[in-house]
Chains A and B, each alone.
Chain A
């Protein structure tokens, strides 16, 4: 797990999927995110790293407007998803969240069966015309989340009865079932043991083929292992953003270097 080796991967010059310009976030009087500009590429894993309370999760939650549920939260600036401003008045956050799925820090399956957990998104979005279609979607999503083989015989068993790692993969299956274009992951492995973490990380790498993945993580090793792009946040500022390899081997900013080498954090 302490493998700091950076896997050399081909980073295609993908198109920009999400582009944030001058994003400011306020929680009441607290200025949580200060003027962040970032371009997230399509079909790429982007990692947000930084010390606790630096605003990386807050910024992540801006990308699918989950912060709307917090009354005191105010977002300024522009976040464009495929050139469309997601904070535009005409945008329904519900439609946005179907396109930008999210996996949370703590596995949070619905207290329903495994099948219903995965089928819920497609059902409410009307993605399946028939029961057979739905079965196909559920199987495909569970396969994508690399959990199909473990649960295929007990799809009607409660999702909350699975182990922590399985629950998190079930949540990933649930998130991919709605065919999102972007998948946001907020410290998806922080509640998992090393083996489950490894499984989820492998999964993230596979998901890159179909989605643009943004992952918030506390573990720099994890960022190095799974991501192609890394953004380092510190005290609400985006300090440095670039290829993962460059961030970890040749950081341009002093603060990034200090954090990576363990001097601040």
Chain B
């Protein structure tokens, strides 16, 4: 009011047009454009690597799901397999796979002759190199399962050897075989002829998914099924221990615990534990669970316990974050109508935090599923050529392997056929992880809608 002169001054006339960009604006706009370009470039690089990774995994891994089989009738001669003719399983089981081998080899020679395929070897017996060394056991198992088959001719789908399989998958060439005493180029000629005659075909191999590991010399027989069971039993242990312990810890720390030095210390330590290398948990599990408590070695129970220790910090941190994200007004509202602290937490806060808790848990589980290092230390890289665990107790306590450990084991072996199987194992592992993430998303959606 006192400054009357200010009102009489005219509004300063603008010297520049709005249509012209000033230098300053131009610079600012340019830097914004640059920043956006950096962002797009970063995403493009990320996408490129992702695609490269996926292409590598799928191109290397898909052959593992197919296997070359030889389908021939096998004459189960009584004189070789059941000398007494009693069809007594106990007596017949005295004939080992060595007794069965000639039977299968002869069947192959006969089949080749029937199909009019010439055998270019001095010793006809050499054609057996086309077959996997596992076939004798396969035939023996079938015979012992039903002794009445002896004396008849039964059609078998026999595994071809890994070199032959590799030839059909493009992994093995004739030049490679010059230095390879396992197979000759002539074998490949026979294989081509057999494929033409319909005796040999490369088809989908369910045994890779459901079967067990095999010895180093017969990659064609190896499957990931048993270690999948090992992983499954471990995940059961992890889920049933880490979810309740983790959520209870988080709720107590977040909602009930007093704020003091001690709880601060606990908080700092939980954050630190999340960053501890997993191999440390492995050696801890070795020292505590195996050497001190004397739990069985290589057992999924121990693996699950170790992975629980590793997963807990992840679950606690994510659960606390999602509890923190629930607005305090909800707690006030519940307390205001006379709910107890626990009722306010369990009726209101926890359901709202549930999507976050589930996401955290499943991410923790996925991390545990892919973890290898701690399993090496507690011996869960055992060579498990046995069959599936035959019960829940043996599932938890019998030695087993886990999917990532199995993949590591395969990648370590010399035969290139195992390299292919390692990639195939990774595809299965990734499918599991993807399924878990999808479950996480679905659960989150459902809980969010339900509130």
Q: Which residues of A contact B (CB under 8 A)?
A: 64, 66, 69, 71, 94-95, 97-98, 101-104, 106, 108-112, 120-121, 124-125, 158, 171, 174-175, 177-178
Contacts and interface: CB of A to CB of B under 8 A. Distances in A.
B335 A97 contact: yes
Interface residues of B, number: 20
B338 interface: yes
A177 to B, nearest CB: 8
A260 B310 CA distance: 63
A109 B327 CA distance: 11
Interface of B: 258-259, 327, 329-340, 343, 347-348, 352, 451
Contacts of B337: 97-98, 101, 120-121, 124, 174-175, 177-178
Nearest to B332: A104
Contacts of A98: 337-338
Given A71-B259, A106-B329, A111-B451, A124 B336 contact: no
B336 A101 contact: yes
A175 B343 contact: no
- Could you say which of B329, B336, B340, B451 has the most chain A C-beta atoms within 10 Å of its C-beta? B336
B336 A69 contact: no
A216 B347 CA distance: 29
A104 B333 contact: yes
Contacts of A97: 335-338
B331 A69 contact: yes
14 contacts: A71-B258, A101-B337, A102-B332, A104-B329, A104-B332, A108-B333, A110-B348, A111-B330, A111-B352, A112-B451, A120-B337, A121-B338, A121-B339, A124-B347
A264 to B, nearest CB: 23
Contacts of B339: 94, 120-121, 124
Contacts of A64: 336
Q: Which 8 A-B pairs have the closest CB atoms?
A: A98-B338, A108-B329, A102-B336, A121-B337, A97-B338, A108-B333, A111-B451, A94-B340
A129 to B, nearest CB: 18
A174 B337 CA distance: 7
Contacts of B336: 64, 66, 97, 101-104, 175
A214 to B, nearest CB: 14
B347 A120 contact: yes
A123 B384 CA distance: 56
Contacts of B451: 111-112, 158
Nearest to B259: A71
A144 to B, nearest CB: 15
Nearest to A92: B340
Contact of B343 (A104, A106, A124): A124
Contacts of A124: 337-339, 343, 347
Contact of B338 (A69, A110, A178): A178
B198 to A, nearest CB: 65
A66 B338 contact: no
Nearest to A117: B333
A97 B333 CA distance: 11
Contacts of B343: 124
A92 B331 CA distance: 17
The residue among A66, A101, A108 with the most chain B CB atoms within 10 A of its own CB is: A108
Contacts of B348: 110
B366 to A, nearest CB: 29
A111 B329 CA distance: 11
B291 to A, nearest CB: 43
B338 A125 contact: yes
A57 to B, nearest CB: 12
Contacts of A121: 337-339
Contact of B333 (A71, A171, A177): A171
Contacts of A112: 451
Given A110-B348, A112-B451, A69 B335 contact: yes
Nearest to B340: A94
A109 B338 contact: no
B259 A110 contact: no
A103 B333 CA distance: 8
Contacts of B340: 94
A66 B330 contact: no
A66 B335 contact: yes
Contacts of A94: 338-340
A97 B336 CA distance: 6
A110 B334 contact: yes
Contacts of B332: 66, 69, 102, 104, 108
Contacts of A125: 338
Contacts of B327: 108
Nearest to A160: B451
A4 B279 CA distance: 74
A178 B337 CA distance: 7
Nearest to A118: B337
Nearest to B327: A108
B162 to A, nearest CB: 59
